[in-house]
Chain A
Amino acid sequence: MKQPFERVVDEHGDTVLRVCRAIVGVHDAEDAWSETFLAALRAYPDLPEDANTQAWLVTIAHRKAIDITRARRRHAVVTDDLPERPSTIGVPGSVDHELWDAVKALPPKQRRAVAYHHFAGLPYAAIAEIVGGTPAAIRRAASDGIGALRAALSASTPKE
């Protein structure tokens, strides 16, 4: 029997937000998260019971991220000029901008590999199915990406 969707959100909400922040950036991550879970909710009754829920959600998030990135490029003039609005991010400083800026600076392949492997915990083979390419290539990209990320963060982290 399929578990209530609430438990899917509870278990994977954090992971999907990490993936969204890594792929589309902090600013668009919440829209990507919402669209991912709304699409997942629609499709949930048809999800096979033995499916890997996390890989399924990351696949949806991956597609939504592509949509959002395309839309942003199309409407770049409009969306780059968002009016200031009250923060809805919650506690100021709760988003680690230093980390997400460093992730954003990675080449797209490395960024995806880091997001899906290191932040979402998917195996290389599952990631290869989502983004294309070979598991070995994903493994290399994940390794190069996390190395670059550690270097970037250590360069900006003062020694104690």
Chain B
Amino acid sequence: MIDTHTDGPDTPAVRARAVSDPDTLDRLHERLAAAASRDGLLDVAYTSVDTPVGSLLLAATGTGLVRVAFESEDHDLVLDTLAGRLGPRVLRAPARLDRAARELDEYFAGTRTSFDLPLDLALSRGFRHLVQRRLAEIEYGDTWSYARVARLVGNPGAARAVGTACATNPLPIVLPCHRVSRADGTLGGYAGGPARKSALLALEAGVRTGPRSGDTG
């Protein structure tokens, strides 16, 4: 085919010159997230943070933090589920998760032993909700058996159901289901896998056994 415009750019080349640069798109995205938050348009705001147990997805509704997910849960899949259950207006909006991210930083630095965040337990129902809500009563560095948690919620025979409630905890770390293990002292399951569960317990044990290097008081 003879191109009558051989001296100049052809159509694909013209099209290529129209492509937007990533910096501009990032800046526009940030502006959109700010405006959407201001106007209360988001069903879910999210971000991801790097931690010693890998990348964590943090998601919040207008009520509070609604989901913490490990990398092994597949963040894209988790976002799909959130869109289906809470609404499709899901946007990356890191500023909305600043406080949660900061508290998690402090937790992993060993300077925070409990979380002070508004939470939204919209993703759980019934007995699971009841159990998850009370997990925060288990103190930092402590471990409880599933049966003890079952007694705490007034249902001593429900140790197995407590296990399910822990496994489906939408807010791991913040609601410390990692502090619940089997009566025989073995670890029990964990949404993030057993390695992460023991890493969290080791972190909490380490801080408890004495001052860390660099501590001043």
Q: Which residues of A contact B (CB under 8 A)?
A: 1-6, 9, 13-14, 17-18, 21-22, 30, 33-34, 37-38, 41-42, 44-45, 88-91, 94-96, 99, 118-119, 146-147, 149-151, 153-155, 157, 159
Give the residue among A6, A118, A147 with the most B Cβ atoms within 10 A: A6
Complex Cα–Cα for A46 and B36 (A): 17
User: Quick check: A90 and B21 within 8 Å, CB to CB?
Assistant: yes
Q: Which of B1-47 contact A (CB under 8 A)?
A: 5, 7-11, 14-15, 17-21, 23-25, 27-29, 31-32, 35-36, 39, 41-42, 44, 46
A38 to chain B, nearest CB (A): 6
Could you tell me the distance between the alpha carbons of A4 and B77 in the complex, rounded to whole angstroms?
A: 10
User: Among the listed A30, A90, A94, A119, which residue makes an inter-chain contact with B15, where contact means beta carbons less than 8 Å apart?
Assistant: A119
| CB<8 Å pairs between A and B, sample of 5 | A4-B90, A4-B91, A18-B20, A38-B36, A90-B27
Asked if B17 and A4 sit within 8 Å, CB to CB, the answer is no
Task: Given A41-B36, A119-B15, decide whether A3 and B9 contact each other with a Cβ distance below 8 A.
Answer: no
- Name which of B78-86, B96-104, B114-122, B155-163 contacts chain A: B78-86
Could you count the A-B residue pairs with CB atoms below 8 Å apart for me: how many are there? 120
Known: A3-B88, A90-B23, A99-B14. 11 other contacts (CB 8 A): A3-B83, A9-B91, A17-B25, A91-B23, A94-B21, A94-B23, A119-B15, A119-B18, A147-B5, A151-B8, A157-B8
Q: Which residues of A contact B134 (CB under 8 A)?
A: none
Rank and list the top 4 A-B pairs by shortest CB-CB distance, nearest first. A154-B8, A90-B23, A4-B90, A2-B88
Query: Which residues of the partner chain A approach B80 to less than 8 Å between Cβ atoms?
Result: 1, 3-4
Give the number of chain B interface residues (Cβ < 8 Å): 39
Task: Tell me which of A13, A45, A95 contacts B88 (CB under 8 A).
Answer: A45
A8: nearest residue on chain B (CB-CB)? B88
Query: Do the beta carbons of B15 and A9 come within 8 Å of each other?
Result: no
Known contacts A1-B83, A30-B28, A38-B35; is-contact A99 B18 (Cβ 8 Å): yes
Chain B residues in 8 Å Cβ range of A34: 28, 31-32, 35
Query: Which residues of B line the A interface, CB within 8 A?
Result: 5, 7-11, 14-15, 17-21, 23-25, 27-29, 31-32, 35-36, 39, 41-42, 44, 46, 79-80, 82-84, 87-92
Is A41 touching B41 in the complex (CB atoms < 8 A)? yes
A37 to B192, CA, bound (A): 35
Interfacial chain A residues near B25, Cβ < 8 Å: 13-14, 17
A6 contacts B21, CB within 8 Å? no
Chain A residues contacting B84 (CB-CB under 8 Å) are 1-2
CA distance A144 to B41 in the complex (A): 41
**Bound-state Cα–Cα, A16 to B181, Å:** 51
